[in-house]
Structure 1
Amino acid sequence: MNAPSSLKVLVLASTFPRWQGDKEPPFVYELSRRLVQHPHIANVHVLAPHAQGAALTEEWEGLKITRFRYFFEKWQTLAYAGGILANLKQNRWRYALVPFFMLGEAIALWRLLRRESFDVIHAHWLIPQGLIALLVCKLLPRPVPKILCTSHGGDLFALRGKGLTQLKTYVLKNVSAMTVVSEAMFQEALRLGADAQKMYVIPMGVDVQTQFIPNATCTRHADSLLFVGRLVEKKGIHYLLQAMPTVLARYPHVQLRIIGTGTEAKALQDLAQQLQIVPHVQFIGAVENKNLPQLYQSHAIVIFPSIIANDGDREGFGLVLVEALGCECAVIATDLPAMQDILQDQQTALIVPQRDVSALAEALCTLLANPAKARQLGEQGRQFVVARYDWQIIAQRYGQLLVEMG
């Protein structure tokens, strides 16, 4: 183990805020900035993709950030705005960017490792970051940094086909240590050949102590429903919209607010028109992360109708579930294995089968008819997540693992 404050960590990620106040998911940033505060970690440096309007190098709260170019600036559209997988689905021409992305990241990583000494590389996602870290380290003289790879779900479940499966297995078998964010992912990684002795289940966290908390001064609107997340296939929003006519037949004043952007936005808006529910559905778009708590606090019921997408993509861990429960919202979610780490039916949420429109509509009507039940679910849900998923707990677990590796 290194002496106090001597460990140097290099973080690789393809999702990271492009600028202050960005609406991209912040979980890699939130973990990384907390690792900077660890007593045995000297510095943390993040390498992430560049995007139009973003700085190439900067420093936030002691966190060094380098962004690598991989194409002409205005055409760097592979990462962000829904994620790499969703962006590839939306526009097949973006597959042409993949080799440029991987080469750009590999060159940037090689340069950083030649210029600076790091003890551990923390690569988020098996492919491309985990794979690139392994390949670049093979080109460097020994000793090279140890590699911790964290899989978040889509990279483990959705990348199918013989070649991609072999690449996933290669990463799983060759990194120094591996973390996944749910028990369901742990079992899938074992199936692909991962070594259980170097595998850990450590999810991402949420600030449920100061940010995602109940607010007694904020009025919850009992007839307002909320969805928060990327507008992509695996989120199952089509089924939520299809459930709305049944709900509206019994509760005609209900309003559904959908927060987020993504490749399915236009299709979802068209579906709302076809179902003739446009007056009852608001597509808000993306909001800054600092404004999310107030949205949760003003809604009694939050819905997560996630599914296993046609290409196998699915949730690795429901981080927005933890945010909602932290704010004491009543949650309705589907029965995906990854949700089972967080949710207990009738205790912390109502759980329905995925793709089951009737069951989803019935669960919504149940909570709309019984506000006391909704409050009870929210209160019990908050107690559960505060004890397990606060960033203070999660960052300590990751920090301890990194220090042990270094």
Structure 2
Amino acid sequence: MTDPGRPRLIVLATTYPRWHGDHEPGFVHELARRLTGRFDVVAVVPHAKGAKRREILDGVSVVRYRYGADRWETLVQDGGITTHLRRSPWKWLLVPGFFLMQWLTARRFADDRTVVHAHWIVLPGIVARLLRRPYLVTSHGADLFALRGRWPVRLKRWVMARASATTVVSRSMLPLATALGGRAVPIVAPMGVDLATRFTPDAAAAREPDHLLFVGRLVEKKGIDILIDALPAIRASRPSVRLSIVGHGPLLPSLQARVVQRGLSSAVTFVGPVPSASLPAWYRRASLFVSPFRPADSGDQEGLGLVLVEALGCGCPVVTTDVPAVGDVADDMAGVTRVAAGQADALAQAVLARLEAGPSMGPLATRDLLLERFDWDRVASRYAGLLDGVGSAPP
């Protein structure tokens, strides 16, 4: 039920859960549902095969617009829009309809009490500006790092020029966002993790010796190929080491072939996608979480790395790389080892050293820092305050 006395929040995004328990990243929905106490929230997001066209999901009115037949609506799932466009250039043909239908759908809900939150500068940011309502635009990384050509930059400047507020999810993104100009000074406001009830330590859970874990989309910037390349050296010193790869994405066939080529079939398990509710059990069983982020050839790179927060929240030590965004999670955190990105030898050495040190996380202060920076309730409170300010700004 909508309340005519409350402001309406239109959430625009390209990535959104298709149903309860979906393995697609759920951070946009997790924020949206925590804002339903202050706004009537309408999420305008792309449809996908098997999803409902319209439903109430955790108090959020989710409206999924069609942009093609079922078999063509594949622009955003299992890899993200920039990955799909790079790997399958024909999908550019889907973009005009994708954009047009988001705009036509969103404008049905825009009225004088509406504020807009656009997740990603391109394409939702363009739609937000065309709605002519006050809007907040949030960049999650790919729209800043990968879309660097002349026309994408012009479009991003056009969006930022009228944004009432702008956020980026890590400090490393600030220079790129600031360089685009605009009337709002970009600020850092990360997405969150449910550290209060879901991603928590469990003293009764037994960690499995020499069990490495990777969680994430199987795309280039996650660096899973580097971890596979490091595994033979790791197993030369510790033959019992095994790796579980949780996730799905367009690189799955090539990564499976890589495992076979290196004679690692008995040591690597491709688990596939796992719902968020099931992830804590994986983090609590693993000896070590390994997330070898690296820049992709397109220039895209990790915007924040919330999987690190999930692992640390469950008390699992982490080995990751020195891509800039990782600092927002790793700075001052015990239990985190960072190595140079893209270097399998350095990764192997760090994994072996961490396994030798044992599963202890170190000082309990790490959890307090995690809660302060990334707990969803605190994150949602910050965004609610920003959106309140947007609502009082001129369109």
TM-score calculated relative to the size of structure 2: 0.95
Question: 2:121 corresponds to which residue?
Answer: 126
Question: 2:354 corresponds to which residue?
Answer: 367
Question: 1:242 corresponds to which residue?
Answer: 229
Q: How does 1:349-388 map to 2 (within 5 A)?
A: 349-371=336-358, 374-377=359-362, 379=364, 381-388=366-373
Q: How does 1:126-145 map to 2 (within 5 A)?
A: 126-137=121-132, 145=133
Q: How does 1:236-275 map to 2 (within 5 A)?
A: 236-275=223-262
Number of matched pairs: 389
Question: 1:140 corresponds to which residue?
Answer: none
The AA in structure 2 aligned to 1:133 is: A
What are the Cα deviations for residues 48-71 of structure 1, in whole angstroms up to 9, with x where unaligned?
A: 001111111111222111110111
The counterpart of 1:65, out of the listed 57, 62, 67, is 62
Q: CA deviation at 1:346?
A: 8.0
Question: 1:13 corresponds to which residue?
Answer: 13
Question: 1:24 corresponds to which residue?
Answer: 24
The AA in structure 1 aligned to 2:102 is: E
What are the Cα deviations for residues 192-216 of structure 1, in whole angstroms up to 9, with x where unaligned?
A: 3245x53221100001111000011
Q: Secondary structure at the match of 2:341?
A: coil
Q: CA deviation at 1:377?
A: 4.5
The counterpart of 2:374, out of the listed 371, 375, 389, is 389
Q: CA deviation at 1:186?
A: 1.2
CA distance in 1, matches of 2:362, 2:320: 12
Q: How does 1:4-403 map to 2 (within 5 A)?
A: 6-37=6-37, 41-113=38-110, 116-137=111-132, 145-195=133-183, 197-344=184-331, 347-371=334-358, 374-377=359-362, 379=364, 381-403=366-388
CA distance in 1, matches of 2:299, 2:335: 27
CA contact (8 A) 2:333 2:366 kept: no
CA distance in 2, matches of 1:42, 1:101: 26
CA distance in 2, matches of 1:393, 1:219: 30
The AA in structure 1 aligned to 2:261 is: Q
The AA in structure 1 aligned to 2:150 is: K
Q: Which moved more, 1:254-263 or 1:69-78?
A: 69-78
The AA in structure 1 aligned to 2:382 is: R
CA distance in 1, matches of 2:265, 2:332: 31
CA contact (8 A) 1:302 1:329 kept: yes
1:301–1:291 distance in 2 versus 1, CA, 3 Å: same
What are the Cα deviations for residues 22-55 of structure 1, in whole angstroms up to 9, with x where unaligned?
A: 1111101110000012xxx241111000111111
Q: CA deviation at 1:5?
A: 6.4
TM-score calculated relative to the size of structure 1: 0.92
Q: Which moved more, 1:202-211 or 1:74-83?
A: 74-83
Q: Secondary structure at the match of 1:387?
A: helix
Q: Which moved more, 1:270-279 or 1:168-177?
A: 168-177
CA contact (8 A) 2:320 2:336 kept: yes
CA contact (8 A) 1:172 1:194 kept: yes
Q: CA deviation at 1:344?
A: 3.2
CA distance in 2, matches of 1:242, 1:47: 41
Q: Which moved more, 1:72-81 or 1:339-348?
A: 339-348
Give the unaligned 5+ runs of structure 2. Answer: none
Q: CA deviation at 1:244?
A: 0.2
Q: Secondary structure at the match of 2:361?
A: helix
The AA in structure 1 aligned to 2:320 is: A
Q: CA deviation at 1:326?
A: 0.5
Q: CA deviation at 1:345?
A: 7.7
Superposed CA RMSD:
1.8
Q: CA deviation at 1:328?
A: 1.0
What are the Cα deviations for residues 87-114 of structure 1, in whole angstroms up to 9, with x where unaligned?
A: 222322111111111111121122232x
Q: Secondary structure at the match of 1:279?
A: coil
CA contact (8 A) 2:334 2:363 kept: no
CA distance in 2, matches of 1:176, 1:262: 35
Give the unaligned 5+ runs of structure 1. Answer: 138-144
